[in-house]
Amino acid sequence: MQRRFVSLTRPQERAPAGRCSKTENRPGKRDRTREGLLVKVGLAEVNITPPLGNQIPGYGPKERLSTGVRDELYVKAMAIESADTSLAFIVIDIISLELDSCERIRKRVQEATGIPAGNVMVACTHTHTGAPRPEGEYALRYYPILEDKAADAAIIAYARREEASVGFGRGYEDTISFNRRFYMKDGTVQTNPGVLNPNIDRPEGPIDPEVLVMRIDNAQGEPIGVVSNYAVHTDCVGGTEYSSDYPAYISRTIKQLYGESVVSLFFQGACGNLNHIDVSGRIDAKLVPHRVRMGNRLGLEIAKVRDLTKTSADEVLLSTASRFITVSARALRAHEIEWAHHKLVELDGMSEESMTARQLMEKARAERRLQSQGKPLPTRAYEIQVSAIGDLAIVALPSEMFVEFGLEIKDKSPFAYTIINELSNGSGLGYVCTPQACDHGGYEPTGALFSEEAGGRFVQAAIDLLHERHAARCLHK
């Protein structure tokens, strides 16, 4: 079966992008070193592995208490400063984060460092074998610790900042990410229909094979950090042991190549409909576990790009801006209400102990659907944030975005490099689906947290902010 993925030229073939237009009365180039625009960067990683016995989220309400540690969980942070602007980026090995936790983290960072809360980006790796959600006695005791350590990582990174040189590059990896939604031969669409399923016709959508890299060296030219970005679900471990999934193996590769003190900061791309399952059956996880194979492949590609990337200690202009977009939940269609009734009848009489994780999740969703009938659609404001670091833009988006949205933002971005960073700034869980996916059904649209137009509105807000940040950058040139 032939795979489909987005048309993306390989790094060496990609046309230049993100250049500022020249004007007749543009002032001459200034001595930025003398103006103090040398960049300073600090990085840190703090262990946040919780006690055993906590619920591991990621597969619905079925009990899955942690029994061990496969890989330690971390919060990692980067603080970057140039002239009078400072930004902080925090990435937590957790499936999602709620808004109140994010606000407390940002507030603590601002109080300790002076970095404005709006200049702090808080994101999740979305690991499905990570720290618990704030539910239950254990977790409620753990969350204040998690929030403090998340802020601590940024505070430590800020205290460690030193003169640095940075550069940006891109790579390509199309063998570890797969669109998980498929047209079947009967015309329906299914999510994860199974390896070697003879009824599969073709994937519904693309993948995003771009690997984006930010190289960070100190004043002596020694590596201190590597920022990377890729789009594929961190859901290839399973079991009851804590693990940060394949980003742990990216980090191991980076540390083995460049030193134990080098921090690997990974931003999760738009991967709501992407995962690691190759339905053609070509990949045997018994030979090399998915997390190892994926992390090693990405780690080596990131290292290759990093080594080919030139760095500069100046010309790094920083800025950030946010926009809040209010969207409603999705109005359910008649067939979706029918599905909920049918599902509850199907599961009637089964004990929760006998149900699979998928059945428990479907039961909970069916119950929520029926409970919502006749009630006003709830609304919520979600933050879209864009931060610029020279030629690089980092777009923070809410929840689990379908890859099509990330690709559209990248295609319309005026920056040379655009990182998509989903599950950011306290957005919580939930799929932001394309209208096409809502029409076709499958697993992801069974949730109804976001209206069908939400994704388009988030994308437009991100594109507007990107152009605003790019225009402001050009004024400083």
**Can you tell me the distance from the alpha carbon of 308 to that of 313, in angstroms, rounded to the nearest whole number?**
17
Joined tokens for residue 168 = 């940006």
Q: For residue 120, list its beta bridge partners.
A: 88
Q: Residue 380 burial (CB < 10 Å; 0-12/13-18/19+)?
A: middle
pLDDT band at residue 12 using 50, 70 and 90 as cut-offs? very low
Judge contact between 440 and 454, C-beta under 8 A: no
Q: What percent of the chain shows pLDDT beyond 70? A: 92
The β-bridge partners of 251 are none
Alpha-carbon gap, residue 46 to 131, rounded angstroms: 14
C-alpha to C-alpha distance for 369 and 306, rounded to whole angstroms: 48
Q: Note the pLDDT tens digit of each residue in 90-136.
A: 999 999 999 999 999 999 999 999 999 999 999 999 999 999 999 88
Model confidence pLDDT, tens digit, residues 133-175:
998 888 899 999 999 999 999 999 999 999 999 999 999 999 9
Distance, in Å, from the CA atom of 147 to the CA atom of 104, rounded to the nearest integer, reads: 7
**In the predicted model, is pLDDT for residue 335 greater than 90?**
no
Residue 387 pLDDT: 98
Would you give the DSSP letter of residue 444?
A: G
Other C-beta atoms within 10 Å of 94: how many?
A: 25
User: Is the pLDDT assigned to residue 65 strictly greater than 60?
Assistant: yes
What does the alpha-carbon distance between residue 241 and residue 413 come to, in Å, rounded to a whole number? 39
DSSP state of 445: G
Mean of the per-residue pLDDT values of the chain: 91
Q: Mind listing the pLDDT tens digit for each residue in 385-426?
A: 999 999 999 999 999 999 999 999 999 999 999 999 999 999
CA angle 255, 260, 263 (to 5 degrees): 70
Domain chopping of the chain, boundaries: 30-328+378-476, 334-370
DSSP annotation of 98: B
- Locus of tokens 């540690």: 69
- Fill in the amino acid letter for 93: D
Are 66 and 240 in contact by the 8 Å Cβ rule? The answer is yes
Residues in the chain: 477
pLDDT in tens, 281-294: 999 998 999 999 99
Amino acid 276: pLDDT: 97
Model confidence pLDDT, tens digit, residues 309-318: 999 877 689 9
pLDDT band at 5 (very low <50, low <70, confident <90, very high): very low
Mean pLDDT of all residues in 454-458: 98
Do residues 415 and 214 make contact, with C-beta atoms less than 8 angstroms apart? no
Structure confidence at residue 314 (pLDDT): 74
pLDDT band at residue 350 using 50, 70 and 90 as cut-offs: very high
- Give me the phi and psi of 85, to 5 degrees please: -120, 135
pLDDT at 36: 44
Alpha helices in 199-289 (DSSP H): 246-258
**In Å, how far are 187, 236, 347, 443 from 190, measured between CA atoms?**
10, 19, 20, 7
Q: How far apart are the first and last CA of the chain?
A: 50
| Global confidence as pTM | 0.92
Q: Rounded mean pLDDT of 188-193?
A: 96
Distance CA 243, CA 257 (A): 22
- Among the listed ranges 100-114, 201-215, 251-265, 371-385, which one has the minimum average pLDDT value? 371-385
Position 14 scores a pLDDT of: 42
Which among 190, 156, 16 has a CA at the least distance from the CA of 75? 156
Extended strands (E) in 219-310: 223-230, 241-242, 263-268, 274-275
- Quick one: pLDDT band at residue 10, thresholds 50, 70, 90? very low
Contact of 384 with 424, CB cutoff 8 Å: no
Cβ atoms 206, 212 nearer than 8 A:
no
Helix (H) or strand (E) segment spanning residue 419: strand 417-421
Q: Are strands 241-242 and 68-69 parallel, antiparallel or unpaired?
A: parallel
Q: Would the pLDDT of 1 be above 50?
A: no
32: confidence class by pLDDT, cuts 50, 70, 90: very low
CB atoms within 10 A of CB 110: 18
